[in-house]
Structure 1
């Protein structure tokens, strides 16, 4: 069963609708016991990093989520700010992240190559895929396109964890995969058939 973590941040209904359209059973999990029986976990997120982390901490879900991801090795996908939460922390705030994928979230405005570009980075962008990544194992052409909306990006400490990059002044880490833990900065729920295929591949891992 796919459980979509509802800690008060993120468009849960959009993912429920998308999984239903794909013929996949998914349910909202807004309390620890609702995570029971999860075989896949989706961690969405929008807005400010500290607000998202505080909301997750205050929800009472975090400890059970960590038991499933770190203990039981249940595959998880963080999306948008949900991906950024996988890092150790963010330049957007002061709170520590989950630290499931070593890295730091940084501002496009702090990078000389992107500082003068419009913010946020918004709209469609190509993904440059890295070889041998399960999230893109089938159903993708050479240059899939995804929808982005963000001003901060994940900077993975170990570049072996990077499954795909996108370009906005420079090549930034757009998708990370570290074992069973995955994060995507783009919005699969807004990315048409590319987003659908990405989620299907995740479920089939």
Structure 2
């Protein structure tokens, strides 16, 4: 299983790579969009601000390559943290910025979504499933703990795209999924056994 981790200048590549290698993947750090056409799975990591992230993706030529490989060729894509947020239609961090538009919705600061706790949300928190039978969640008990670090969250437009939530002052999106596109707000590479299993499930997902 050949997995490409996109290097667009804003990802924690080292730990993500090690986690996928431990899960049995043949990992490639993709420094150019052409690499995405040569792999079985694509990972979009990310740490930082939505506008800067999208600027890097656009300037690097990643957006067109992702549209072709993910939407047309149906290669499974996993967005992690900021990478998940950029799957949305837009984000309002600082200035409203168009996202990839792979899953309908928008990204907002968590205190705008009803959270009355300290921002950012940082640390271990339970994740509660909306669809426990989904392939991405197999062999991971409901209410498992995952590691979060974020100030913004994905608000999905369609309920069926919301796979799991976490409770932090309000229900915040933890996992989104639509067809072969997946995103997790937490860091699976820092989430011990449950995180490793999620990466294995992503690798095992049978794309249509």
Which residue number in structure 2 is paired with residue 97 of structure 1? 99
RMSD, aligned CA:
1.1
1:130 paired residue number: 130
1:16-95 to structure 2, matched below 5 A, reads 16-92=17-93, 93-95=95-97
The answer to whether the Cα contact below 8 Å between 1:121 and 1:150 also exists between their aligned partners in 2 is yes
**How far 1:144 moved relative to its partner?**
0.9
Q: Within 2, Cα distance between the matches of 1:101 and 1:70?
A: 11
Residues of 1 paired with 2:66 and 2:109: CA distance? Answer: 28
Superposed displacement of residue 30, structure 1: 1.1
Distance 1:129 1:142 in 2: 6
Task: Give the Å deviation of 1:172.
Answer: 1.6
Corresponding position of 1:201:
201
181-190 or 14-23, which moves further after superposition? Answer: 14-23
Other structure's SS at 1:52 match: helix
Offset of residue 197 of structure 1? 0.3
Q: Which residue of 2 aligns with 1:10?
A: 11
The number of aligned residues is 202
Offset, 1:94 = 2.2
Q: CA deviation at 1:36?
A: 2.8
CA distance in 2, matches of 1:192, 1:74: 26
Structure 2 residue matching 1:36: 3-state secondary structure: helix
Q: Normalization by structure 2: what TM-score?
A: 0.93
Distance (Å, rounded) in 1 between the aligned partners of 2:99 and 2:20: 27
Cα distance, 1:37 vs. partner? 1.7
- Alpha-carbon distance between aligned partners in 2 of 1:171 and 1:110, rounded to the nearest angstrom: 12
Q: Which runs of 5+ in 1 are unaligned?
A: none
**4+ runs of 1 displaced by more than 2 Å?**
none
Given that 1:147 and 1:186 are in contact with CA atoms closer than 8 Å, whether structure 2 keeps it comes out as yes
Per-residue CA shift, 1:3-48, capped at 9, x if unaligned? 1111111111211111222222111111022223211100001110
Task: Give ranges in structure 2 of 5+ residues lacking alignment.
Answer: none
1:183 aligns with 2:183: yes
